[in-house]
Structure 1
């Protein structure tokens, strides 16, 4: 049995801006990793660097501009390696609905629970980044 994290929420922004913020390294670093590289194209590899110890990689397994991007972890830690996470966007009257998932966690352990909490905080940071231009310094993201 695997475990999953899901969040759905509205961001008062257009789909193109939200897609950019979840798929382009120059925007990802404003709300998630310290450093990032990658191209939003199936088969491409992203580097999500948080520290020297947490220098992780993922492959783009599905993407369509302004619609969705899904990543399969390829080099991280034992809990994250089997997982896939992604963002699906739907245009709404009051903004863009972001449907987030992070699935295939092998255990419902402390790391899963901590990551679930962190995703909630980080995704709130993404919302504030897009709606208000707020960039939380990396050392304050947790």
Structure 2
């Protein structure tokens, strides 16, 4: 049995801006990794660099402009490697509904629980970045 993380919330921003913030490396760096590279196209590889020790890679397994992107981890650690995470966007009257998932966790261990907490904090950072222009310094994103 695998374990999953899900979050749904509204970002008071248009779909294009949200999509760009979850796919463009220079915008991902504003709320998640220290350094990032990648292109939002199926079979392309993203590099999510947090430190030299945490220099992770993922492959784009599904992607549609202004709609969704799904990343399959390819080089990370034993807990993250089997996982896939992604974002689905839906336009609403008051902004964009972001549906986030991170599925395929092998165990409900401390790393899974810590990652679930971190995703909640990071996604709040994404929301604040898009709504208020706030960029939390990388060293304060834990």
Q: TM-score, normalised by structure 2?
A: 1.00
Partner of 1:33: 33
Shift of 1:13: 0.1
Q: Deviations over 1:15-56 (max 9, x none)?
A: 000000001101000000000000000000000000000000
What is the CA-CA distance between 1:113 and the residue it aligns to? 0.1
Listed as ranges, the gaps of 5+ residues in structure 1 are: none
Q: Report SS of the residue matched to 1:8.
A: strand
* 1:90 matched residue in structure 2: 90
Aligned length: 142
Match of residue 136 from structure 1: 136
Secondary structure of the 2:79 match is coil
Q: Displacement of 1:11 after TM fit?
A: 0.1
Shift of 1:127: 0.1
Which whole-Å deviations, capped at 9, do the CAs of 1:100-121 have from their partners, x for residues lacking one?
0000000000000000000000
Give the distance between the partners of 2:36 and 2:104, measured in 1 at CA. Answer: 23
Check if 1:67 corresponds to 2:67: yes
Moved over 4 A (4+): none
Partner of 2:20: 20
State how far apart, in whole Å, the 2-side matches of 1:69 and 1:17 are: 14
For residues 69 and 141 of structure 2, the distance between their equivalents in structure 1, rounded to whole angstroms, comes to 22
Structure 2 gap ranges (5+): none
Cα distance in 1 for residues equivalent to 2:134 and 2:11: 14
- Give the secondary-structure state (helix, strand or coil) at the position aligned to 2:31: coil
Counterpart in the other structure of 1:105? 105
